[in-house]
Structure formats: structure tokens, C-alpha cells
Homo-oligomer: A and B are copies of this chain.
Amino acid sequence: MDRTTNLNKVLKSLQTRSPDVEATALISDDGLMIASALPQELDDTRVGGMSATLLSLGTRAAHELQRGAVQEVIVRGEGGYAVMVKAGRGVLLLVVANEDAKLGMIFFDMREAIHAIKEIL
């Protein structure tokens, strides 16, 4: 199997394990999609660009506010969460979940996924 198929499998399994996870994507630091399991109504280009910008700004903020290396950037809205995490050199993992999601469980599943992603890339 090629890498893209394997990466898509990891993303799909993230969504299967937590029914509250609605979308996942693997995005390069410059905002381009590497693999994704996004609902049709979400625009790949915009989601990629915004996620990369948020994580990059979060990295600067963590440094400026003396919080050390950034772990996650989390946006909580009335309808749920968007979590962005560094998933290795030059790559970030985005998980979008509904408001019933347990953040701790999402972090746990994301760490597992990142481990698998690093093995593939």
C-alpha cells in the first residue's frame, strides 16, 4: 500500500474510535493538505491554510508567553472543538470534534495517530 492510503487509514481510524470526531486532516506547515477525512462542506484549501497559520501563531505565542514548545492549539466554539497538533517535522494534525467530545480522550487518540503517522512518513 502507498503512503497516502496508509495515512488516510490512520485518519479514518481516528474518527471511528471517537464518534464525536467529525473531521481529521494532515496538513503541511505551509497549509497544504497531505491527507484528509473532511466532510464535503469543508473547503480543503481554507481549512489547510487556517490550521497552519493558527499553529504557527500559537507556536510564537507559546514562546512569547514563556510556555515552552507548543503542544496543541485548541479553538473551542459553541458547537465543539478544533485541535491542531504538530505531527512531526513540517506536518500538523487537525481534529475537529463536536461539543460532546472529551478533550482528554481526543488528545490521547491524537497521540496514537501521530505515532502511526511518523512511522508512515
Q: What are the residues of chain B within 8 A of A58 when measuring CB–CB?
A: 54, 75
State how many copies of this chain the complex holds.
2
Provide the main secondary structure of the chain A interface.
Answer: mixed
Q: Does A33 contact B (CB under 8 A)?
A: no
Q: Does A42 contact B (CB under 8 A)?
A: yes
Q: Closest CB-CB distance, A13 to chain B, in whole Å?
A: 21
A-B contact pairs, 26 of them (CB 8 A): A23-B65, A42-B64, A46-B64, A50-B57, A50-B61, A50-B64, A54-B58, A54-B61, A62-B75, A62-B77, A65-B96, A67-B78, A67-B80, A67-B81, A67-B82, A67-B96, A68-B77, A68-B78, A68-B80, A69-B78, A70-B75, A73-B73, A73-B74, A73-B75, A73-B76, A74-B74
